[in-house]
Structure 1
Amino acid sequence: MATYVLVAGNWLGAWAWSGVTARLRADGHDVHPVTLTGLGDREHLASPEVDLDTHVADVVHTIEYADLHEVILVGHSYGGFPVTGAAERVTDRIARLVYVESGPLPSGTSQLDMIEPEEREATLRRMKEREDGWLLPPPSAAELASGAPVYAGLDEAARALFTALAVPQPLNATAQPLDLADGGRRDALPHTLVTCMFPVEQVRAMVAEGHPYFAGFAGKEWTFAEVRTGHWPMLSEPERLARALAELG
């Protein structure tokens, strides 16, 4: 049986993995979903000082304090950033890095770099000008129900759960660039991408074309899995995502 550490993206906590966690544990796997500082049941710890370094430490401490080894370390969306940073620090404890709707990005890259320049500048301006500018609010109930591709697969129950439990994201975590060393040992680990919004073949084509969003896919040995749904497969397709992760163990 395998050991999994699961890290969700913006606004979410360990609660978002409940369906996946239950299925993996039912198969006998050891599963540790992580709630990053300032999110989920740790919302009360949110502050302007919470940044990417904080979240990297959350993942590292989960692994070290539980004395986990041969870990399949899974990062979803923004969770790919702290997962990559943590793998740099505890490489010897990691068996495989898995990115769900995410990927490893070069040192010096932040999640804010992944959005359009106008939106990025507006976000940075908001951080400077507003008293609550250090928080990024989650999508509204109306946005979740809008039918946009990013929200595909979220039924009424999943949308209600998202609305009830998602909390604002500490923005310094998404604004702080990833700070990595040479990364050779980390890069040598097996890597898997679980893609949801794009078919695997389209991802392969974008990697081959050198698309900047896929720069971190160069120079590594990759396997691919596909769970066709929107951006939050742990909520929209927990059984299929759990099956894809179980096959890696």
Structure 2
Amino acid sequence: MPAAPIPARSPFVLLHGGRHGGWCWKHVAAALRQEGHLVYTPTLTGLGERAHLLSPSIGLDTHVQDLVAVFEFEDIQDAVLVAHSYGGMVASGAMERIADRVRSLVLFDAHLPRTGESHGDMVGPARAAKHVEMAENGGQGWYIPPSDASWYGVTDPEHAAWVNSHTTSQPLKTYQDPVGNTDRAWSHPGMFIECVPSTLEPHALDRVRKRHADDPEFQYRVLHATHDAMVTAPEAVTKLLLEAVDTSCPNR
């Protein structure tokens, strides 16, 4: 008798945060592939290896369209969509168009905005003003220069050198644009991973904790690692992401 077919495993789409690129998932992506999963690590327009496309016109909607296009052109189905940090803004907006292709939405120390909120709303007025100041002082008024790896909690010299050699500037507009409808992101099965200590504002964490309390299909996990845990603790991150495959409800 011919061998029974091996069941297809859910693909992973790993979305980076601000001033990062698909490169930051290198070790996690390799580990997931060893487990038999297809893994996509797209880089948003103007960042990472696409930094040559940086321009003042790039906004949040550009990045939402980037993510939607990956799902459509790769014909991705039943995926675990993992969004880190600013990537939560992008994934939340994109879910209006790709939710039927997503098995589970994992917010990895990431923002979960309500409809019409911006990244600035999520980080609070003080940090939003700091981003504007950074753009004015070192980004011609329209882009935010990279921060040192230590801002993301990366202190190991080898890891820090790698991060610092890869981070790129971020269009300020992406942090100021309001996101579109996010209802489907809020109603979709998923998981939130809080890195301790988190770089997120208390109000942002409070809202996802409340959602966990109210929604049995939304899991909440704590990871004692830095904000860039995919760099500093890839094994622990991989373990949680594999757990997310089984804590989801496909075809909701």
TM-score, length-normalised on structure 1?
Answer: 0.84
CA distance in 2, matches of 1:138, 1:126: 10
Corresponding position of 1:180:
181
Q: How far apart, CA to CA, are the structure 1 residues paired with 2:192 and 2:94?
A: 17
Cα distance in 2 for residues equivalent to 1:84 and 1:112: 15
**1:191-210 matched pairs, under 5 angstroms:** 191-198=190-197
Whether 1:110 and 2:100 are equivalent positions in the alignment is no
Gap runs ≥5 in structure 1 = none
State which drifts further: 129-138 or 9-18. Answer: 129-138
1:83-162 matches, within 5 Å, as: 83-124=91-132, 132-140=140-148, 144=150, 150-151=152-153, 154-162=155-163
Match of 1:215 among 203, 207, 217: 207
CA deviations on 1:205-241 (whole Å, 9 max, x unpaired) are: x7xxxx4553355354311233211110111111110
Aligned-partner Cα distance in 2 for 1:240–1:246: 10
**Is contact 2:122–2:204 with CA below 8 Å preserved after alignment?**
no
CA distance in 2, matches of 1:245, 1:154: 24
TM (norm. structure 2) is 0.83
Task: Name the amino acid aligned to 2:165.
Answer: A
The answer for unaligned runs of 5 or more in structure 2 is 1-8, 246-252
Structure 1 residue 198 displacement after superposition: 4.7
Whole-Å Cα distance in 1 between the matches of residues 35 and 173 of structure 2?
Answer: 38
Structure 1 runs (4+) deviating above 6 angstroms are: 128-131
1:163 is the counterpart of 2:164: yes
User: Paired residue for 2:3?
Assistant: none
SS in 2 for 1:80: helix
Cα RMSD (Å): 2.4
Judge conservation of contact 1:88–1:180 (CA < 8 Å) in 2. Answer: yes
Structure 1 residues 213, 113: closer, same or farther in 2, change over 3 A? Answer: farther
Aligned residues: 231
Query: Which segment is superposed worse, 223-232 or 70-79?
Result: 223-232
Q: Percent identity?
A: 32
CA offsets 1:188-214 (integer angstroms, 9 cap, x no match): 321201111259xxx9xx7xxxx4553
SS of the aligned residue for 1:74 comes to: strand
1:224 aligns to what SS in structure 2? Answer: strand
Q: Distance in 2 between matches of 1:213 and 1:87?
A: 20
Corresponding letter in the other structure for 1:61: A
Q: Supply the AA of the counterpart residue of 2:221.
A: A
